[in-house]
């Protein structure tokens, strides 16, 4: 048994070796051999001494050779295993959470014996994997890795392999063939002096030619292969070695902490060091050290920390099964780690060139790969081969996530089977089969259906509107969904029929489109959501472009174009290729030729849809260019009734994602800059006394650099665009839907009353849920519940003085996710408002400050999200970063507010300074209370963020 070196020391002590030496010295004394009670008693005494001091684990050095027996090579003797069982029993009896690690440099089938039946060692090094990782990288071939892991037997559930790339010895080549050893020597040891015993005495970075992408790739494989990864000190910063020192000392040089004397390892005279520090020009300690790399967020140290933090979020990496994925490119390795409901697809390009690979992922069809580092979503996995292009030495960790409420979650074999004679459309009249069974099942499986928590009593087809294309007809069904309790809902569902060949293709490509199997005169076919049909989508576009009207049973489908749709009517949609976007929520979206974006409203309400209304107004009656231009719409119109919006067509705005993603990147880089200065992390500057006094000119220069000028510039630009949006919305003195209306004291009182009602209902709900909440948030929630009177008092400020300004139409659900970033500017989208409230309520005129407060709260989420939600920030760093999150939020939101006020200064809808501050504070508090209720019902893990916001607001005077 040999102890791993303590950090900062250069000594080891080997009590078992000492006992073994006793055995050799006294081996001619029959009463004093290794199995004698005296030797065992002494060994256990030494073991107890160290374990009682808190040592967590012991490495059993060269354990296969513990016993000698004449006539054998002394490897893997039964006596060794008998002794290990005795040792393990002693540890288990007297200590908890202690580890015995077997250093058994054996082939996998031999090394696994040292786990016993879970009653010998807890862990063991997997030696044969290490050289094969290096072989695979140099050969640019996945075979060596797959071959050795397929030879690895299963191990007891309570045991674990330890995986490593390098350690304090040489890169051992004992567990390879002679030919493989010769290959490794040729490609990894240009200088024969780097060889020792049957191995190579080099550190990781010199072995990989200090190639950053290779270092990342090899560590990625280390962190994702089955077992617990072991990182040898110095490899996390890419330390060099000095094989001229002899023996194995070249990879045991002092850790390089800083550019100070002796690399910060020791302050003694350099001649007194047990081993000298590295002075090789490429790895010289004054340049390559922890202190320097902590300041550089692009360093290997930062990458390693991020990778470890991400790995810790997924149990599948530590405990999951492993299954290799077959692919057509031998340069690319792919496998899936799976544990409970987690599935991680690992892909690694072992080549120095860009590679294209296709994988058979049919088993995971219907899942969506999500990059675990960026949380970006890739194309959905289908039955057909899944193609991926990877750059040199590139890698992916992709979480295969199922869409919780999609058809892909259930087998298409469970589809209801119906049959009709004559025309397939006659199935629409089947109240029992189609409307009674197939429609309720399909609605419950659809992501856009909002009544999943309610019991469906009946689904009725209110109207069916034909949409014809190339001789085939689909129908827009208006469905009334009646529940066992509460009011009914109305939904829109396009339905079409496909014969056997096309139906099979739809089941493979778009399994969530399937509604029911349908036999027409004995021929098998499929009823499906017609939005997944290219011809149907083209027909919709053609109807809008051609100002088409279609008669239904109870009303008309009216399609009309906007001024932004400049296609000649004759063009129709013949050249418009389209695809359904997968990121649907309450609606469905279609992209036409990267030129137009169509939103199909799934839940229908009578009345003018604010999204359609506001988009059309801003496009055709104002000069505001910060929205996607209105290009057309679909409406259902009935006599003596308000129209029902079914679809909205807009010009497509090329973009780089939404503002939420942009500011998340800003915040993550900001935190990395803070963490790169560990000596300053506890010295967060004082927060500004008020958000309303901040501007770019008032921020100290050192804070400008720390926070990041780009994030402040973007916040200012967003404030300007928000102000310009409100100016445009208030620009019509004639149109009654957009004509500004004055505040009144009566409105101020009603505003307080609505806030009061919301607060009391939310706090009552929270009070009931406190026992169900985690310990982390239950105390904070209880504190907020007990502060009901203080919260109401703060909100009542809105009634304490006359606020002179106008009410106008506003966005209504304004946050960073509702803003697209084009690469240089912002475009505001989705004026639909909060989907939980009625259309009439969403069209009410309100204070523009409500939108402003919504965006400030969104900045708060952006600031605190990385500290509490899955992100590259390590959980242990979060407490130290909280004051810095306060700082970022204060200055970024302050700059946003200042830019907004500057833009709208003097406009009638803006109150005076005091009134603006009052309205901002009460709307911030009201919004945070709303968020508290929303997170409680939808995302309990996010509760901490609105809780923090409420606490901060109440702390302000």
Active site residues per annotation: 61, 103
In this structure, what are the phi and psi dihedrals at residue 471, rounded to the nearest 5 degrees? 85, -15
Taking CA atoms, 30 is separated from 23, 66, 71, in Å, by 10, 18, 19
Q: Tokens for 895?
A: 């700059």
User: d(Cα 913, Cα 448) in Å, to the nearest integer?
Assistant: 43
User: d(Cα 313, Cα 868) in Å, to the nearest integer?
Assistant: 12
Rg from Cα positions in the chain = 34
Taking CA atoms, 450 is separated from 367, 440, 453, 489, in Å, by 22, 12, 8, 9
**Length in residues, the chain:** 957
Helix (H, G, I), strand (E, B) or coil at 736: coil
Collect all residues with Cβ–Cβ distance below 8 Å to 819 and sequence separation of at least 6.
658, 659, 718, 721, 826, 827, 828, 829
Contact 719, 895 (CB under 8 A): yes
> What number of helices (H) and strands (E) belong to the chain?
27, 33
Can you spell out the DSSP letters for 365-378? TTEEEEETTT--B-
Helix (H, G, I), strand (E, B) or coil at 793: helix
Query: HEC profile for 289-318?
Result: CHHHHHHCCCCHHHHHHHHHHHHHCCHHHH
Q: Tokens 């003018």 — which residue?
A: 608
User: d(Cα 898, Cα 699) in Å, to the nearest integer?
Assistant: 12
Q: Tokens 């590679």 — which residue?
A: 355
Contact 514, 526 (CB under 8 A): yes
The beta-carbon contacts of 438-442 under 8 Å, at least 24 apart in sequence, are 438/515, 438/516, 438/527, 439/479, 439/493, 439/515, 441/416, 442/407, 442/493, 442/515, 442/516, 442/529
| Bridge partners, residue 215, by sequence | none
Can you spell out the DSSP letters for 133-177? HHHHHHHT-SHHHHHHHHTPPP--TT-EEEEES--SS-EE-TTS-
| Bridge partners, residue 381, by sequence | none
Helix (H, G, I), strand (E, B) or coil at 127: coil
Q: Tokens for 217?
A: 């790739």
- CB count in 10 Å sphere of residue 73: 9
Q: Tokens for 449?
A: 């259906």
Helix (H, G, I), strand (E, B) or coil at 939: coil
| Bridge partners, residue 596, by sequence | 592, 651
User: d(Cα 316, Cα 880) in Å, to the nearest integer?
Assistant: 29
Q: Tokens for 536?
A: 């149907």
Contact 901, 676 (CB under 8 A): no
- CB count in 10 Å sphere of residue 918: 21
Q: Tokens for 804?
A: 């002179």
In this structure, what are the phi and psi dihedrals at residue 523, rounded to the nearest 5 degrees? -90, 125
Helix (H, G, I), strand (E, B) or coil at 832: coil
């Amino acid at each position: 048994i040999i102890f791993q070196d303590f950090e900062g020391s250069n000594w080891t002590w080997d009590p078992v070796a000492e006992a073994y030496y006793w055995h050799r010295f006294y081996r001619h004394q029959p009463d004093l051999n290794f199995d004698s009670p005296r030797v065992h008693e002494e060994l256990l005494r030494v073991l107890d001494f160290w374990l009682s001091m808190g040592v967590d684990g012991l490495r059993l050095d060269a354990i296969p050779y513990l016993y000698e027996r004449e006539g054998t090579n002394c490897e893997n003797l039964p006596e060794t295993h008998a002794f290990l069982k005795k040792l393990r029993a002693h540890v288990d009896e007297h200590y908890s959470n202690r580890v015995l690690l077997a250093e058994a440099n054996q082939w996998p089938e031999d090394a696994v014996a040292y786990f016993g039946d879970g009653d010998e060692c807890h862990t063991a090094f997997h030696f044969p994997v290490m050289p094969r990782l290096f072989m695979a990288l140099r050969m640019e071939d996945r075979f060596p890795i797959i071959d050795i892991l397929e030879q690895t037997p299963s191990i007891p559930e309570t045991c674990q392999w330890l995986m490593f790339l390098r350690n304090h010895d040489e890169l051992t080549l004992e567990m390879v063939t002679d030919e493989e050893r010769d290959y490794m020597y040729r490609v990894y040891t240009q200088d024969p002096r780097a060889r020792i015993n049957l191995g190579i005495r080099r550190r990781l970075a010199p072995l990989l030619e200090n190639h950053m992408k290779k270092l990342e790739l090899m560590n990625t494989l280390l962190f994702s292969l089955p077992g617990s990864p072991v990182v040898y000190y110095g490899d996390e910063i890419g330390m060099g070695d000095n094989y001229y020192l002899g023996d194995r000392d070249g990879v045991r040089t002092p850790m390089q902490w800083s550019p100070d004397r002796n690399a910060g390892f020791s302050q003694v005279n350099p001649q007194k060091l047990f081993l000298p520090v590295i002075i090789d020009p490429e790895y010289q300690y004054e340049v390559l050290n922890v202190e320097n790399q902590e300041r550089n967020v692009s360093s290997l140290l930062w990458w390693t920390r991020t990778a470890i933090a991400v790995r810790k979020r997924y149990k599948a990496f530590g405990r999951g099964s492993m299954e290799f994925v077959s692919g057509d490119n031998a340069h690319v390795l792919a496998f899936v780690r799976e544990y409970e409901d987690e599935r991680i697809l690992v892909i690694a390009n072992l080549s120095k060139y860009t590679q294209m690979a296709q994988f058979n992922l049919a088993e995971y069809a219907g899942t969506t790969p999500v990059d675990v580092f960026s949380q970006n979503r890739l194309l959905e996995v289908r039955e057909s081969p899944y193609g991926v292009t990877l750059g040199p030495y590139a890698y992916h960790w992709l979480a295969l996530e199922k869409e919780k409420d999609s058809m892909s979650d259930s087998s298409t074999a469970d589809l209801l089977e119906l049959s009709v004679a004559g025309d397939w459309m006659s199935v629409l009249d089947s109240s029992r089969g189609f409307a009674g069974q197939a429609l309720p099942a399909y609605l419950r499986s659809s992501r856009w259906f909002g009544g999943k928590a309610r019991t469906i009593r009946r689904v009725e087809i209110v109207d069916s509107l034909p949409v014809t294309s190339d001789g085939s007809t689909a129908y827009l069904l208006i469905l009334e969904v009646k529940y066992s309790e509460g009011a009914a809902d109305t939904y829109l569902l396009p339905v079409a029929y496909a014969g056997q060949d096309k139906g099979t293709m739809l089941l493979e490509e778009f399994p969530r489109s399937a509604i029911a199997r349908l036999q027409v005169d004995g021929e098998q076919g499929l009823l499906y959501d017609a939005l997944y049909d290219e011809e149907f989508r083209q027909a919709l576009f053609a109807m809008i472009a051609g100002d088409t009207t279609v008669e239904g049973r109870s009303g008309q489908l009216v399609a009309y174009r906007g001024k932004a749709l400049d296609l000649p009517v004759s063009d129709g949609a013949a050249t418009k290729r389209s695809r359904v976007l997968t990121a649907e929520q309450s609606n469905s979206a279609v992209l036409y030729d990267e030129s137009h974006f169509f939103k199909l409203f799934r839940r229908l309400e009578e009345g003018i849809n604010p999204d359609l209304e506001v988009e059309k107004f801003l496009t055709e009656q104002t000069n505001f260019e910060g929205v996607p231009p209105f290009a057309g719409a679909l409406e259902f119109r009935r006599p003596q009734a308000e129209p029902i919006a079914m679809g909205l067509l807009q010009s497509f705005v090329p973009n780089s994602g939404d503002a939420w993603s942009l500011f998340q990147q800003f915040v993550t880089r900001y935190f990395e800059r803070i963490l790169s200065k560990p000596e300053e992390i506890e010295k967060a500057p004082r927060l500004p006394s008020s958000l309303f006094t901040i501007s770019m000119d008032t921020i100290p220069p050192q804070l400008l650099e720390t926070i990041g000028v780009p994030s402040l510039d973007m916040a200012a630009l967003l404030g300007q665009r928000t102000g310009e949006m409100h100016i445009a919305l208030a620009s019509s003195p004639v149109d009654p839907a957009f004509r500004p209306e004055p505040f009144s004291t009566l409105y101020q009182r009603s505003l307080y009353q609505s806030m009061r009602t919301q607060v009391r209902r939310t706090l009552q709900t929270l009070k009931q849920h406190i026992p169900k909440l985690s310990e982390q948030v239950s105390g904070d929630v209880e504190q907020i519940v007990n502060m009901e009177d203080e919260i109401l008092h703060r909100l009542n400020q809105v009634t304490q003085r006359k606020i002179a300004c106008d009410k106008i139409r506003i966005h209504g659900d304004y946050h960073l996710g509702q803003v697209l970033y084009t690469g240089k500017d912002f475009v505001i989208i989705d004026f639909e408002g909060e989907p939980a409230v009625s259309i009439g309520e969403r069209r009410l005129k309100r204070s523009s400050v409500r939108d402003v407060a919504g965006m400030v709260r969104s900045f708060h989420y952006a600031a605190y999200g990385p500290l509490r939600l899955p992100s590259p920030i390590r959980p242990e760093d979060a407490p130290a970063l909280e004051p810095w999150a306060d700082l970022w939020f204060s200055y970024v939101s302050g700059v946003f507010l200042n830019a907004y006020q500057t833009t709208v200064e003097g406009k009638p809808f803006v109150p005076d300074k005091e009134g603006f501050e009052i309205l901002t504070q009460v709307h911030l508090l009201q919004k945070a209370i709303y968020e508290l209720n929303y997170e409680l019902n939808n995302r309990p893990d996010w509760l901490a963020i609105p809780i923090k916001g409420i606490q901060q607001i109440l702390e302000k005077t």
